[in-house]
Amino acid sequence: MKKLLLPFIGLFLTIGLLKAQIITPEEAVMKGRTILAPASFRQPAWIPSSSLWAWVDKDELYLLALDSDSAYTVLSLNDLNRAHQEQGLDSLKSFPFLNWTSGKQAWYQHAGSVLALELGSKSVSLKNSFDPKGEHTDIETNFYSVAFTRENNLFVSSRGTEIQITADKNPGIVNGQSVHRNEFGITKGTFWSPKGNLLAFYRMDETMVSTYPILDLTQIPANATMIRYPMAGDSSHQVKVGVFNILKQKTVWLATEGPADQYLTNVTWTPDEKFIFVAVLNRDQNHMKLQKFDANTGSLLATVLEEKHEAYVEPQHGPIFLEASGSRFIWQSERTGHNHLYLFETGKEEKVLTKGDWDVIEVIGLSDNQETLYLTSTGEDGLSRHLVKVSIQEELFNQITEKPGTHLCKVNLNTGDYLDFFTDLNTPRVISVCTPEGEEKKELLKSGNPIAKYDACEVRLLKFFTEDSVALNARLILPAEFDSTKTYPVLVYVYGGPHAQMVTNSWLGGADLWLYSMAQRGYVVFTLDNRGSGNRGKAFEQYTFRKLGDAEAYDQKLGIDYLKQQKWTRKDEFYVFGWSFGGFMTIHLMTQYPDIFAKGVAGGPVCDWRMYEIMYTERYMDTPQTNPDGYAASNLVSRIGKLKGDLMVIHGTSDDVVLWQHSLALQQSAVKQGVILDYMAYPLHAHNVMGKDRAHLHRTVGRYLGVK
C-alpha cells in the first residue's frame, strides 16, 4: 500500500516573472470546475459505523482513520479493472461512485450491473443486472434490486427476474419518473421501502395537458418533437402513487382524497415499511396536509398535520422518523418565518428543535444513537453556512462552526467528528478534520489560489437596506489594478428569482470565473440578492407574491444608485445581463428604469408568465384568472415599447423550460412597436447553453457589451 503523508496541500505555483493574464471564456467554461477550481477531494465519505473516511485522488482510493496521521491507498483503478477482467466486465475509464456499506465493502453501478467491491481481496462480484438502456435507475441494498424505466413504463430487476410493473401504451402516461416538473423537492419517481420488499412509484397522467412542439433542427426538413407543457391557468397533469409488492407482484394505489390535479410530494417510508407519508398540496399551494397511508392496502389512515398560508406553502422535505412506526418524527417548516425543525408525536407538535432569524439549509443526518441531529444553517447574515448540532431529547442546539464563511461539513454520524470543507471570500478551500466540539484535529488539504497567475481583482461583499430596513447582500468585483481616480463601465449580473442565492461568503463571493474575467477586462461587476431570492426566510421570499419583478427591480436599483454615486463608474456605460429569471429581470429593469442601462443581454427570458409552467408560476403569481393585474404588470411583451437602451435577447431553440415562444413573442411585439432588438439563437440548445458552446455564448455577450 502506498503511504500518503498528511497534511496534503494542493499547490498552484505562481511564477512572479510571468506576464499577467486574463481568463478567457474557454478557460472559464472548460477549466472552471477542474484546474481553475480550488483543490478538493473526490468522493469524500465517512464509512458507516466506523471512524474511517475515504476519498479518491488520481484514480486511487484512500482511507484514513481518525487516530492516524497518514492515509493509505487501498485500491487503484487498475486494481478495479483487473477485477472487471476476471468477471468478464467492461473496463472502467474512471473511478466509479462508491456506496459504502462497511470499511471493507462498497457497491457501485456500471453498464447495467450492480457490483459489490471487496477491498481486502480487491475483487468484485455481480449482485444484479438490468437492461443497460434502462433509465431512471433506483437501487436498494437489501437485495440489490433495481427499479428502472423503459418508454415511460416501470420495471424491476430483482432476485434474478425482470418484472414489468406498468404497461401503459399511451405516451401521455408516465410511470416511475419525477413529476410536477421537479418542484417541491422532487428529484425522482421511485421510492424503495427500507427492507426492499416494496416499491412506491409515481404515475403521471398528462393526457389532459396541451402538447407543445420543440423543433428538431437536425432533420431536413425540420421536424417537431411534441412535449406536454402545462401553462399557468390551464389543465394540469394528474398524479397517483402506486405501491408494488415484489413477492406478490401486485400493485395497490394510495387512496388520496381531493382534486386530481393536486400535488403529491415528499413520499417517505416509515422504517418498518408498513406506512407511507405523503405531503398532499392543493393546486393553489396554500394548504398542505401530511397524510399517512397503509402501504399494504393503500388506505388513508390519518392526516398527521396541516399547514396553511395566505401566499403559499412549499413542502420540500419528508419527515425524518425516530422510531419504526412513524409516530414520532422531525418536520421541516417555515411556519415561524424561517425554515426550522420541529418534533412531532402522533400528529401533535412536541417541541421546537431550532429557532432564530436563520434558515436550515440541509439536514445532514441523525447520529447512530438517534440522540443528535446535524444540519447546515445560513447563519444570521445569510451569507455564511454553519454546522449546527441539535439535541433531540433536550431543548438545545449549538452552532459548532464559528468562523464567518462557508462550512460545508461531512459528519461522522458514529463519532460526531466531521470534515470541514471551509471557504470564504479570500480562502479557496481548506479541509480539516474536527472534533465534535469544533476543534481542529488536523488540516488535510489547503488549496492555493487556482487563478494566481491571472490578473487579480478585488472582491467585496456589500450590504444595502430597503426603506423598511431589510438587509440586501451584494457582491462587487473591482477591475484588475483598480484606480479610484479612473472611471469604469459597470456590468450588473442579475438573477433575483426564488430559491436562488448569488452572493455568499465563499471563494470569490460565489461568482463564477466568467464574471471575474469581465472584471479583469476593466468592468465593475455587481450582483445583488433582492427580496424574492432564497435562504433569507419566508417574508423575504414571499414579498414578491403576485407581483414578480417590481420589488426585485426596486431592490436592484438600490445597489445601482450606489454605483451611480461613485466617481469611478461611467454613468453612460451601465450594462445588465441575466439568464432565465435573470433574463426576465434584465428586460424588466431596462423597461422599468429605461434611462439607466445603455445595453443589456437577456438569456432564456420569461417574457409572459402566462406561458410558463403551472407549478412554479401559480405558486408565486396565482393563476392568470385570479391575478390578471399581476400578470399584465409583469408582461414584458406588452412593455417592450418602453425600452431605450440596446438589448440582445438570446434563446436556445430546444428550450423546454422557458419556451422559445417567449422571446419570439417579445421580438414580434418589438417589431410592431418599432423597437429594434438584437437577437441570437442557439440551435439545439435547451434552457441553457452548455458544453464548449458556452464559451461562444460568453464571447457573444462580452462582445455585445464592448469587450475588445
- DSSP 8-state secondary structure symbol assigned to residue 231: B
- Name the nearest CA neighbour of 160 among 136, 126, 203, 195: 126
Helical H segments across 480-633, by residue range: 513-520, 538-542, 550-565, 581-592, 614-621, 628-633
Tell me if 623 sits within 8 A of 612, measured CB to CB.
no
69 is catalytic: no
Task: Give per-residue burial for 495-525: e unless 16+ CB within 10 Å, then b.
Answer: bbbbeebbbbbbbbbbbebbbbbbbbbbbbb
Whether cis (ω within 30° of 0) applies to the bond prior to 624 is no
- Name the nearest CA neighbour of 669 among 630, 624, 639: 639
Using a 10 angstrom Cβ sphere, with 0-12 exposed, 13-18 middle and 19 or more buried, the burial of residue 442 is: middle
Using a 10 angstrom Cβ sphere, with 0-12 exposed, 13-18 middle and 19 or more buried, the burial of residue 218 is: exposed
Q: How many CA atoms lie within 13 Å of 199's alpha carbon, on the beta-carbon side?
A: 37
Read off the C-alpha cell for 87: 468477471
Active-site position among 145, 533, 580, 669: 580
- DSSP 8-state secondary structure symbol assigned to residue 108: E
Read off the C-alpha cell for 183: 418542484
Using a 10 angstrom Cβ sphere, with 0-12 exposed, 13-18 middle and 19 or more buried, the burial of residue 316 is: middle
Tell me if 67 sits within 8 A of 52, measured CB to CB.
no
Active-site position among 655, 662, 663, 669: 655
Active-site position among 84, 110, 309, 687: 687
Distance CA 514, CA 28 (A): 6
Whose cell is 393563476? That residue is 623
3-state secondary structure at position 669: helix
Read off the C-alpha cell for 506: 465563499
The residues, ordered by sequence, that sit 6+ positions from 650 with a Cβ below 8 Å of its Cβ are: 601, 602, 603, 604, 679, 680, 681, 682, 689, 697, 700, 701
580 is catalytic: yes
687 is catalytic: yes
Helix or strand run (H / E) with residue 692: none
Q: How many helices (H) and strands (E) would you count in the chain?
A: 11, 44
- Name the nearest CA neighbour of 604 among 581, 580, 588: 580
Distance CA 123, CA 117 (A): 6
Q: Is the dihedral of CA 177, 179, 183, 189 positive or negative?
A: negative
440 bridge partner residues: 434
The residues carrying an active-site annotation are: 580, 655, 687
